[in-house]
Chain A
């Protein structure tokens, strides 16, 4: 937009694609993902790092994109919920969330999925305790968490089987 101040060009790899975008230094990664790159699967719930709805994976690290400045994405590799599924099939976590009815309103779901993927990337065989601990940074007000935890454990089992 023409009204931006002190625009900076940032290059990053997002969901496997090389992208370049212009942003103001004060814009967050979340702002840019949602407003400029049309990755609106990344949600804003709190804007202060409490709810995890904006979780993305940046160079292998789970981050709240509302707490990352867009300029910090320079040269990084970022995965959002839009990058989880293969062209022809869902990621096992996505499939498992559907089968276990691990979502109700669904607005926290992208963050949970990305956080759970990050967990399984680090620890393919988590215990229930580890799943609950890892997902403590994600808030859900509808489900009560139990089905989410079961969905993640089941997905881990199934991914192990493949």
Chain B
């Protein structure tokens, strides 16, 4: 398949332009509705009671006084959630064990972090819900907390999860109670020989902190568990379909019974993929007699109980020859998973040192539970701390052997055919070309003047995952297009996706009306995350555009009985306009019967594209096509 990017940029009319985004007016006038803005008839307001202890056993919960408070309609505890088996579920960016996700939503017999939900209340006002929380009695048996990986890995450390055993190098499962959920290793070459060949060895240890994504909009969820058994959820999420499947698995319900309506989202950065409030809102709605329940976190709850990225300890040891060639590297990295397994240490292992060609290499990674909220994706999950550690050592080596940082990278940088730390061979990546371009750049060569000025060089690796996207479009009688998509628009993707469809169809992006719709109204879409949406959903919309053109040409073509096949072309003045079709001219079947008032010589569909096609079939159309039709396209997962 030919790739659009192979075309010269001059071929593009829409791609590369800077249109006003489709959702722009709503967002500058305050009209855009985010999750917390939803209001429904009979709405109840929920609040979550959170553990004030980082590690404790729950002896008893008594909610009777809270339930007796006028205005309180329901109280939910961990006992209201189904108990789930040990099943790991992929979330797009990262994965989660459902059993642990469930006990993380509402504690079972233990609380494992400060802020761990213990109970949830629904009431007729938020203030009553807050008062009710204070009436719930919880009897805790305090346990010593473990707050960093070094302590958690020590023998005799307090154990968070009684059933946790280390998954060691793939399939071997340990027999001891432990806080180490997994040990992974990537290895190649001969480490001892590599270090023996080195003239110089540098070894450094780095500690990075737990960091929160810090999106401005707190998590929220509103749910209606209706009397007919259908559940509707309004939420700000990076992936409505992911929320639907998480809910289905956590509540043991068929996905078809759940509809997730994605509201506008106020930032996520990876932190709005896991569900936190949605299942609680659903359970409360059921228990409150099928009334809608809305839960919105405050900032303190966001910081204590959602996200963060893993804190970590990373040791990097590298050897170089006197002339600057890397002979060996050994990396040890332990990542905080938070209260339940699933840190992005595997992703960190892919990132660390992948920009370099290293023959003798060993990377050990550990996924370690500590008494903090369970780690979530955050901007190249697990990658930034790994790259930080590796690049700091690379810089030091370059300095020690007396090489410019770029020269050092040119000597050791990976290129096509070299293998990443985790194994796969690179295809064409253009890394060394980039380094050479920097060497030539004035930004690098201009002398530094004045105090407090410097330059830094760092290299990093990150992969794009294609993922799955579904889109559909309806072409209307006016030649404009309604585009239906399921990818959360977190920063303008409605427009970037609409532009790709417009480019493919040869119309203006303003003639494409993009909508991000609920899970009942579009096929499956993976989350907006991992840098995939513009590419993955863009690919789907590109194929959709090709299919639309093909279908429309076929419909115009057949009844006309032309002897020569017609070509659909980009809308531009042509020497033989009679052979050109434009989108609106294939959709005007109705107008033969009732000509539109003054078509103004086929007025341009938008100011941006000035089409001058004069070709409009003047004969009465004999096909019975409705004035619009729909086609849908689902992109294959693309791994590259």
Contact = CB atoms under 8 A, between A and B. Distances in A.
Most buried by A among B39, B264, B266, B490: B266
Given A43-B217, A45-B299, A46-B299, A107 B30 contact: no
Contacts of B30: 39-42, 80-82, 110
A6 B631 CA distance: 58
B20 A141 contact: no
B21 A45 contact: no
Interface in B1-31: 18, 20-21, 23-25, 27-31
Interface in B488-515: 490-492
Nearest to B33: A40
A81 B216 contact: no
Contacts of A84: 29
A1 B299 contact: no
Interface in A21-59: 24, 26, 34, 38-48, 50-51, 53
B contact face: mostly helix, strand, loop, or mixed: loop
B214 interface: yes
B491 A107 contact: no
Interface string A98-132: 11010111111110010000000000000000000
Contacts of B71: 3
B89 to A, nearest CB: 26
A129 to B, nearest CB: 18
A90 interface: yes
Interface residues of B, number: 39
A141 B215 CA distance: 6
B298 interface: yes
Contacts of A141: 213-216, 267, 269
Nearest to A139: B216
A151 to B, nearest CB: 10
B31 A41 contact: yes
Chain A interface size range: 35 or more
A51 B216 contact: yes
A140 interface: yes
A81 B29 contact: yes
B24 A107 contact: no
Contacts of A103: 24, 27-28
Given A39-B30, A141-B267, 19 more contacts: A3-B128, A40-B34, A40-B36, A45-B218, A46-B299, A82-B29, A85-B29, A94-B28, A98-B24, A103-B24, A103-B28, A104-B267, A104-B490, A106-B28, A107-B266, A107-B267, A108-B266, A109-B27, A141-B214
Interface of A: 1, 3-4, 24, 26, 34, 38-48, 50-51, 53, 80-82, 84-85, 90, 94, 97-99, 101, 103-110, 113, 139-142
